[in-house]
Amino acid sequence: MKYDFSDDIQRGILYLSKYSRDFYLQISSLVRPEYFEYPIHSNIYQAISNYYEEYKDIPKDLHLLECVKDHKGSKEDLSDYDDELHRVNSMDASCIGHTEFFLDIIEKFAQKSAMREAITSSISLLKDDRMGEIEHLVREALCINRNVDLGHSYFKDVLARFERSLKDNKGNRHATVFDTLSKELEGGLGNKELAMVVAPPGVGKSLYLVNQGVQALMNNKKVLYISLEMSEDRIAARFDSVMTLIPQKKLKDSLSMLQKRLALFGDKFPGGQLMIKEFPTGLANINDIRSLLVQLQNYEDFKPDVVLIDYLELLRPTRDGLAEYQAQQRISEELRGIAVECDVLVWTATQTNRQGRSVKLITDAELADAYGKIRTCDYAISLNQTEEEFDDSQMRCYVMKSRNGKQRFVVPISIDYSTLTMTEADPYETED
């Protein structure tokens, strides 16, 4: 596909990339080899990129020609590349103009090229109804720009940093279900963070996420609950009990009481809003979640503060062909990415390996080969319960990981299995 991008400017990119390491680093995130009109230019730029990735330097022409051998077509003659490099080297640099002006031209070229590539790729995706991936490609194309945000100037920005910290502590924290955990986190977790609850199957991961959702609603937050296993109605029934304290078994016979108590809950916490969305098990990926967030914003004017995803292993990674442990780490990285991108707190649940059922206290050792999935997260707790504790409606919460607070301590929990509510227990009442 030909782009409206003159030969001289394309050669100018190669010229400056070959002679200025700083210039190449500024454009490396913008320009891709496939953006060039001619295969020779594309292969030369690809060779420069590969050489830099391996040796962290710009190749000389002799090395560049050697690298080109790996990319040129079988019918192409290496002498053609030698001749083109001679043309590039013979350029009058003044025709490029001011470097900043040239960089602006390249930015516009990259944006236009990326959008064309996205639209072209979307045609085949549209045939397979892969709308989430189309949205992701277009979003990536729209995000291409020369990022001039150079970061945080430590000594200059002290006051601004403390003002942001005070603002976070006053209203931008998300309390956990248990007061002790929130206290150790100086009020709770923040936006752009990923938190996990870890437990064997059937111990209470989903119950914790529902309780966490109710806690957020009581803090007047907007909550999105994504279920990858249970129906929307079943999840809603769990919220019914936790919010109104009506036992699960009595919900069907208590419609009038349910409506009254939900009305009271809404009056007391007017800012709290809840959306529940079910995706087919094992079919949804992060692009589907990203698409859902856009649709909620556009059609419901709903932008969540907290996103609860039940649960990690039932998501599909965007990259195919990964081993299970690699897939779980990839999904974890994608979840944290969407937390940062959308400025939300993401909570998810994840399972232990088989040893998680036999130990008294679940640590990262019970994640085995899938340890990578908590490497990315900011906060992780495990739910621990023996048979005796189950009979007594007790449990222990263990803080496995905390980037910004105390970790490796236990909080005793009481569970009301009729209303599905979790509360922090008095440690003296739970002693043997």
Residue-wise pLDDT tens digits, 98-136: 667 777 777 887 888 788 888 888 888 887 777 767 777
Give the residue extent of every domain in the chain.
Answer: 7-142, 163-424
Written as six digits, the tokens of 230 are: 């249970």
Across 207-227, b (16+ Cβ under 10 Å) vs e yields bbbbbbbbbbbebebbbbbbb
CATH fold of 163-424 reads Rossmann fold (3.40.50)
Which is nearest to 210 in space by CA: 233, 243, 181?
A: 243
pTM of the complete model: 0.69
Query: Is the per-residue pLDDT at 175 higher than 90?
Result: yes
Mean pLDDT of 301-310: 95
Angle ∠(386,424,401) on CA atoms, nearest 5: 75
List, for residues 143-173, the tens digit of each pLDDT value: 777 665 556 677 777 777 667 666 655 557 8
Tens digits of per-residue pLDDT, 388-429?
999 999 999 999 999 988 999 999 999 999 999 999 987 655
pLDDT for res 3? 42
Kindly report the CATH number that applies to the domain delimited by 7-142: 1.10.860.10
Of the ranges 324-333, 348-357, 376-385, the best mean pLDDT one: 376-385
Q: How far apart are CA 390 and CA 199, in angstroms?
A: 14
Residue 211: in which H helix or E strand, if any?
helix 205-218
User: Which carries the bigger pLDDT value, residue 64 or residue 273?
Assistant: 273
pLDDT of residue 4: 46
pLDDT bin (cut points 50, 70, 90) of residue 325 is confident
- The mean pLDDT value for 183-204 works out to 93
Contact between 95 and 16 (Cβ < 8 Å): no
pLDDT, position 164:
64
